[in-house]
Structure 1
Amino acid sequence: MEIHQINAFLAVAEELHFGRAAQRLRIAQPPLSRTIRQFEKQLGSPLFDRSTRTVRLTAAGEALLLPAREILDACRMAEIAVSAAGQGTTGRVRLGFAGTSSHLLVGRWAKLVRKTNPGIEFVLDSSAFANEALLMLLDRRLDIGMVRWTVPPLGITSRLIAEENFLVAMSKDHPLASRESVRLIELESENWVTLPAEPGSILRESLLTASKNAGFLARIVQTAPDSMSLIALVSAEIGCSLTISSVAQSIVNPDVVFVPVMDPPPPLQLRIAWRDGDDRPALLEVLKLSEQALPSLA
């Protein structure tokens, strides 16, 4: 079974007229008739009932109609895929990010990729924190990381997309919850909840450094694996938590308020990072779209 035979069959089946089908295919009618006869002989069954006035599909022709269309569609998709692959519009790109604090930005970016390049599989990993994302980038388990690094490491290219301010998350019933801002020294006697003590845990390190600069050592009573869990601990009045503005924008909890810090650490820089020299077309296309969805911070 050859593609030109399927094209000829579909043209006649849809027109039910050899003359019009030949015009549609831009060939003479005799070659079209020969192609159909050869195709029927090859299949061992007539596909059309012909008379001097009408052309109708036989039962075999009806049975062939849908598979023939699927074959042509598959051929067209194959041609498109091969053509598009060289232009960066198909492929697999893996993005790692730290869940709650970045999911709004990631959603905006992924939506644009899907809309403009449906052939690109944009795989999301929401459990990749800073140091883990670095390791995954370097050993090629990730292609892009959305990370908070103080200094981008060697072998990695990055682009700054946001600076995030520090806030204190506290229970709505906390005595300072109604304040427009708070100094960290005012929270000297508070219990704190934070992320685990892992390499690259910037929020935890920022809390310890900021409290030391304010003149006390933060008393950490419990840890949680992610920001969503931290806010749940705050709402349960286990303690306060030093967090960032993107978390406050992403999590709605009626029992928790976010109060700006008057003497905060320097803002955290949120970056998009990828390996130096990685020039795969799909990756470059996704990075180009990131400039539209998440512009660089001036």
Structure 2
Amino acid sequence: MEIRWLEAFVAVAEELHFGRAAARLQLAQSPLSQTIRKLERELGVTLFDRSTRSVALTPAGEALLPHAHRVFEELELARQSTRAVSGVFYGTVSIGFSGALNHLTLPPLTRAVRQRYPEVTLKLVGRVMTRDGVEQVERGALDLAFVALPLDPSPAVTTRLIAREPLGVALPVDHRLAAESAVDLVDLADDGFITTPGAVGSGLQEAGLRACVNAGFRPRVVQEITDPFMILTLVAAGVGVALLSAEVADIMPSGSVYVPLRGEPTYLNHAIAWSADNPSTVLKAVLAVAEEVLPTPD
């Protein structure tokens, strides 16, 4: 079995179209078909159901695909490892983040990585809430995710605290408390709140709910949205108020203000999460950079 046979198989399996797979591999369609037939003869199975209108994986093809992916993942890791010995890192690290809540933590990391390791590609995936980020790290869809603590324990995921920000409130500029230097959260008990959805496992939503309960009420949620900056936009539009960490104070859109809360603060604990079982040498290099530019706060 040759590597190029597996490469042809993966291309057809992902495209489910011999013409598109041939174009992707920069081959003519006839040599591609011949390569697939060689692989099928080698394995003694049929990998694709072919018709004039469609191509589909057979059960044998479905069984082979994850192993074929793993072969190429191992080859890439081998390439990375051999070059890392000489201090040269290349490859891709995928990073999940939520958006506005990471505007003080994501840019320092990405800038430092690009300056130190220009051959490393960073694949940035936005609107990733905490639970989704953890799940994607667990299954290998993400190498690194910005999340909020605490998390449900997971033996597959390692986390490190990188920042702690107290919650404050975003208000429309014409809100009755917008001109105050600080507000008591209980004074907002009758307001409608905009928040991230609880169903996606948002650390922001959980911290906001905890703050409201500690103040003696449960918030009346009028809108849920996954993008924190869109939350600010809806606040500016007068849809409601929102509990957000203090880092957003300097990116408030026109029509909104950020006001600190009085009393014992509720913190949003920002962290990064990764799998300790991830063998990527490039990820290890990025984590080392993160230790420098995003140290754990005292």
Please tell me the TM-score bracket, short chain as reference: 0.5 to 0.7
Correspondence list, 1:18-97, <5 A: 84-86=83-85, 87=87, 89-97=89-97
Deviation for aligned residue 1:91: 1.5
1:281–1:228: structure 2 CA closer, same or farther, 3 Å change rule? same
1:264–1:230: structure 2 CA closer, same or farther, 3 Å change rule? farther
The residue number in structure 2 matching 1:111 is 111
1:101-152: CA deviation from partner (whole Å, max 9, x where unpaired): 1133211111111111111111111221100001100100011111102135
1:264–1:258: structure 2 CA closer, same or farther, 3 Å change rule? farther
For structure 2, the 5+ residue unaligned runs are: 1-78
1:34-76: CA deviation from partner (whole Å, max 9, x where unpaired): xxxxxxxxxxxxxxxxxxxxxxxxxxxxxxxxxxxxxxxxxxx
The residue number in structure 1 matching 2:145 is 145
Contact 2:147 2:203 in 1 (8 A): no
The residue number in structure 2 matching 1:194 is 195
Which moved further from structure 2: 165-174 or 220-229? 220-229
* Whole-angstrom distance in 2 between the partners of 1:263 and 1:90: 48
* Whole-angstrom distance in 2 between the partners of 1:156 and 1:97: 16
Please say if 1:297 is aligned against 2:297: yes
* Whole-angstrom distance in 1 between the partners of 2:101 and 2:208: 17
Contact 1:92 1:122 in 2 (8 A): yes
- What TM-score, normalized to structure 2? 0.68
* Whole-angstrom distance in 2 between the partners of 1:296 and 1:122: 22
The residue number in structure 2 matching 1:171 is 172
- What TM-score, normalized to structure 1? 0.68
1:219-262: CA deviation from partner (whole Å, max 9, x where unpaired): 1112222111111111111111111112223x231311111111
The residue number in structure 2 matching 1:135 is 135
The residue number in structure 2 matching 1:254 is 254
* Whole-angstrom distance in 1 between the partners of 2:149 and 2:209: 17
Deviation for aligned residue 1:192: 1.4
Q: Which amino acid aligns with 1:146?
A: F
Deviation for aligned residue 1:167: 0.6
Please say if 1:281 is aligned against 2:253: no
Q: Which amino acid aligns with 2:225?
A: A
Deviation for aligned residue 1:88: 5.5
The residue number in structure 2 matching 1:221 is 222
For structure 1, the 5+ residue unaligned runs are: 1-79
> What is the alpha-carbon root mean square deviation over aligned residues?
2.1
Q: Which amino acid aligns with 2:94?
A: R
Contact 1:206 1:265 in 2 (8 A): no
Deviation for aligned residue 1:201: 2.1
1:156-179: CA deviation from partner (whole Å, max 9, x where unpaired): 222211001101000112121121
The residue number in structure 2 matching 1:267 is 267
Paired residue secondary structure (2:213): helix
* Whole-angstrom distance in 1 between the partners of 2:107 and 2:184: 34
* Whole-angstrom distance in 2 between the partners of 1:97 and 1:273: 11
Deviation for aligned residue 1:155: 2.0
Which moved further from structure 2: 204-213 or 168-177? 204-213
The residue number in structure 2 matching 1:51 is none
* Whole-angstrom distance in 1 between the partners of 2:248 and 2:233: 13
1:161–1:169: structure 2 CA closer, same or farther, 3 Å change rule? same
Paired residue secondary structure (2:170): strand
